[in-house]
Structure 1
Amino acid sequence: MSALTPASSLHHRRDQAWPFWPLVPLYPYGQRPTQRVEVVKDQVWTFEQFQGIFYVVVPIRMTVVRLEPTGLLVYSPVAPTPECIALVRELENRYGPVKYIVMSTVTGIEHKVFVGPFARQFPQAQVYVTPNQWSFPLNLPLPWLGLPRHRTHMLPADSAQAPFSDQVDYALLPPIDLGLGPFGETACFHRASRTLLLTDAIVAIPAEPPAIVQIDPFPLLFHARDTATDPIVDTPENRRKGWQRIALFAFYFRPSTLDVAKTAEMFKEAKQAPVRSRQHYFGLYPFRWRPAWHQSFQALHNHGQLQVAPILQTLIFNRGPQAVLDWAKTVAAWPFERIIPAHLAAPIAATPEQFLAAFEFLYREPAAAANRSLPEADFDLLHQIEALLLSRGISRPRQPAPSVDKK
């Protein structure tokens, strides 16, 4: 592919511009490239962007499904850049207007922040919001958060009452009290394509870096280094290595195979770094990976199988295990063939039985808990965070785990 000319490069940047990035200041800040993928021909599309902090970048995903006889439903909007909106308009021209926008989460600000701006691009669309919304530090009304006042509705508790119930089912995860506010999300099932749409509840972690994060490979290459003095070299091996380390950061914050350099050592190495620009954090690179980090990733990857992210296992779902399991069983009653979560790999070929198995860590029996293949040492920082939140009265204590259902 030939290099962009200065004029076309400027046009490209304008198409990907997201001027409201200071509201949630995540990398890549004011530039948000979008990739559209047709998952099921003429029925389901994903729109992927990426975001992160300290170059720990992961995909964030919106899903669009076609309604009959005409129209579209949008699940969990991403940043409505000119490029993103143009890609949606192309679908509208073929399949009809965006009729419904679903705000699928209660807690995830990285999802909620885009719903209002996205809805303003489609003034005829009705916005349906997962109940029990809250904001911090002030619990503001939804219109104050940018959602259109006269066309924003709470999703009814009974999904049969929703205007799209003839084609899309949904299940509301009952609010899990976390202390500051509840956690909740809405799972949707598009019957025609047998596709399950989720936000954060389930992920599958790919061994190779997703295509969207390879648009800007610098974060991958930044984390592929072993010391600050290593040059940044773009190779497939380094992209893979950087991605796998990013996954460990994203899910554990600090896995057991990661050490942090002492301040004096870090500054000494920074002086020897081949590049010391602001983009390179002035040569500062505190990470020291032990040789076993790759085994840690392989356990997390687990052959790409469905799993609940370690953060949700440790800090969230164990605050209401029975409610989570009841919700998972409701979702597993749908005959889906694939899952599209809002992060990491998608689409994931999966059965309801495989989906339900991902929640077995919530059961009381040791055998069920031991089914978790992740190294317990990698959870150390998450357990420390949990203890700190509990000691300060910020988090609610864990709830008793239910017994294994023998049925």
Structure 2
Amino acid sequence: MNAQKQQDMHSSTHSKDWSWPFWPAVPLYPYGRRRTFCSEVVKDTIWTFDQLHGILYAIVPIRMTVVKLEAGGLFVYAPVAPTIECIRLVNELVAKHGDVKYIILPTSSGLEHKVFVGPFARCFPQAQVFVAPHQWSFPLNLPLSWLGFPRSRTQELPEDISQTPFASEFDYAVLDIDLGRGSFAEVAVFHKRSRTLLITDSVLSVPEDPPAIFDLDPYPLLFHARDNAFDLIEDNQANRHKGWQRISLFAIYFRPSALEPVGLGQALRDAKKAPNRSRKAYFGFFPFRWKQNWKQTFDALRGNGRPFVAPILQTLIFPQAPTQVLNWVVKVTNWDFQRIISCHFDSPIEASPRQFRQAFAFLEKNPSVSENSSGSDSQPLLEEDLRFIRELEADLIKRGIATPAKEKV
């Protein structure tokens, strides 16, 4: 998609086109005003639709992927908020390539994905909806129809893909981990013709530069570009890059080692003297400072763009069923993909099955794929940055909310 067409597609001047009235169900930024950025990944075949979401301006993309079917029509993986703008962009593809035929909810636990599926499906009444197994909701475990899913055309993905109407063009592998109080399910989907792997949360890659969706709303980048409460919020390319890299550290580690928390009393005193005291700037409240080595921490995280498993999954989820996860990984790596489209952070990720396999080496006593076989890009995450999540894990185990990790394979 050329730059002029992208500009035309995103030139909407009516804020009602960005409105998302159901934001209280999952109250994440940008709340009731969601912009959508569409990008063509594979010419006339695959498109991504990005929106933003997060808390405290630690904002990352959330992504829907649309694939053109060979016989005409569209396959939608992980819908985003169906704003007027979003549906208009999808309908531009419908006009050219045919109706939305299949909608996939590829997770059981990701409320930020699940909440959009029912409303999105109602915009395309001919589409069949397929969901990952063992769906659940919190605090009440409600039927999907109560969450807005159309009852007559929603079904669980069958174990045998040949029982689906899209088996000739796709393959999929379901990871379904029983966590006791719910499940973690993720459906990896392989589009054979384009050799593209679609993933929800299991692996990601962090780009050096902020994703293009931030051109529509750079304020979160500028907010986090500051070193402390006294820095001005200024819009320039250097601040956008700095803000994105710090947001990445926040979003992935929660409390990275390069971040120095400021006590509540000091933060309130600083807020009184801060040059940015608007409501949008949280009235000057900025309860942390960045250490000088923050950029080295980001570079270690990014690893030149290598795919990796987010620390929260490395620590709390996947170690609960290492054999099950690795069996799923083996099935995925049997597909001959050349790119990965994840629902968050960078997209597409130019990566091989071997690189995908390497991202899960932390589950093995003796990794079958050498950590050093592909150079420095494959180095694991730094232990000092994982400290907060390790402490969180220990606390959850102590409280009986989580269970200790199973032995590595």
Q: TM-score range by the shorter chain?
A: over 0.9
**2: CA distance, partners of 1:288 / 1:180:** 37
Structure 2 match to 1:124:
126
**2: CA distance, partners of 1:10 / 1:252:** 35
> In structure 2, do the counterparts of structure 1 residues 38 and 179 end up closer, same or farther at CA, with 3 Å as the change threshold?
same
Pick one of 28, 31, 34 that aligns with 2:33.
Answer: 31
Structure 2 match to 1:265:
266
Please say if 1:227 is aligned against 2:234: no
Structure 2 match to 1:72:
74
Q: Retained in 2: the 8 A contact 1:179–1:394?
A: no
Please say if 1:383 is aligned against 2:367: no
Q: Retained in 2: the 8 A contact 1:130–1:155?
A: yes
Q: Give how far 1:179 is off.
A: 3.6
**2: CA distance, partners of 1:345 / 1:275:** 31
Q: Retained in 2: the 8 A contact 1:176–1:184?
A: yes
Q: Which residue identity is paired with 2:318?
A: F
1:44-71 Cα distance to aligned partner (Å, 9 max, x none): 1101111110000000100000112111
Q: Retained in 2: the 8 A contact 1:337–1:350?
A: yes
Structure 2 match to 1:164:
166
**2: CA distance, partners of 1:115 / 1:171:** 20
**1: CA distance, partners of 2:11 / 2:36:** 16
Structure 2 match to 1:96:
98
Structure 1 match to 2:21:
19
**2: CA distance, partners of 1:335 / 1:98:** 26
**1: CA distance, partners of 2:61 / 2:319:** 26
Q: Retained in 2: the 8 A contact 1:58–1:213?
A: no
Q: Retained in 1: the 8 A contact 2:202–2:310?
A: yes
Q: Which residue identity is paired with 1:107?
A: S
- Give the TM-score, by structure 2 length: 0.93
Partner SS for 1:316: helix
**1: CA distance, partners of 2:139 / 2:310:** 26
Please say if 1:394 is aligned against 2:401: yes
Any residues of structure 2 matched to 1:7-406 within 5 Å, and which? 11-173=13-175, 175-365=176-366, 372-402=379-409
Q: Give how far 1:399 is off.
A: 1.0
Q: Give how far 1:211 is off.
A: 0.8
The unaligned stretches of length 5 or more in structure 2 are 1-9, 373-377
Q: Which residue identity is paired with 1:112?
A: K
1:279-338 Cα distance to aligned partner (Å, 9 max, x none): 111111011111111111111000011111111111111111111111011011111111
Q: Which residue identity is paired with 1:266?
A: A
Q: Give how far 1:9 is off.
A: 9.4
1:149-187 Cα distance to aligned partner (Å, 9 max, x none): 0000100011121111011111101x2233421111101
Q: Give how far 1:264 is off.
A: 2.2
1:218-250 Cα distance to aligned partner (Å, 9 max, x none): 111111111111111111111111111100100
**1: CA distance, partners of 2:200 / 2:335:** 17
Q: Which moved more, 1:108-117 or 1:131-140?
A: 131-140
Q: Which moved more, 1:107-116 or 1:366-375?
A: 366-375
Structure 2 match to 1:405:
none
Q: Retained in 2: the 8 A contact 1:76–1:102?
A: yes
**1: CA distance, partners of 2:406 / 2:264:** 40
Q: Give how far 1:25 is off.
A: 0.6
**2: CA distance, partners of 1:366 / 1:65:** 34
Q: Retained in 1: the 8 A contact 2:228–2:290?
A: no
**1: CA distance, partners of 2:219 / 2:16:** 21
1:362-387 Cα distance to aligned partner (Å, 9 max, x none): 10138968974321011111011111
- Give the TM-score, by structure 1 length: 0.94
**1: CA distance, partners of 2:297 / 2:252:** 11
> In structure 2, do the counterparts of structure 1 residues 380 and 366 end up closer, same or farther at CA, with 3 Å as the change threshold?
farther
Q: Which residue identity is paired with 2:293?
A: A
Partner SS for 2:171: strand
Q: Give how far 1:12 is off.
A: 2.3
**2: CA distance, partners of 1:304 / 1:369:** 15
Q: Retained in 2: the 8 A contact 1:159–1:171?
A: no
Q: Give how far 1:10 is off.
A: 8.8
Q: Which moved more, 1:46-55 or 1:346-355?
A: 346-355
Q: Retained in 2: the 8 A contact 1:361–1:369?
A: no
Q: Which residue identity is paired with 2:70?
A: E
Q: Give how far 1:210 is off.
A: 0.7
Runs (4+) off by over 4 Å:
8-11, 366-372
Q: Which residue identity is paired with 1:56?
A: A
Q: Which residue identity is paired with 1:251?
A: I
Q: Retained in 1: the 8 A contact 2:188–2:332?
A: yes
Q: Which moved more, 1:294-303 or 1:371-380?
A: 371-380
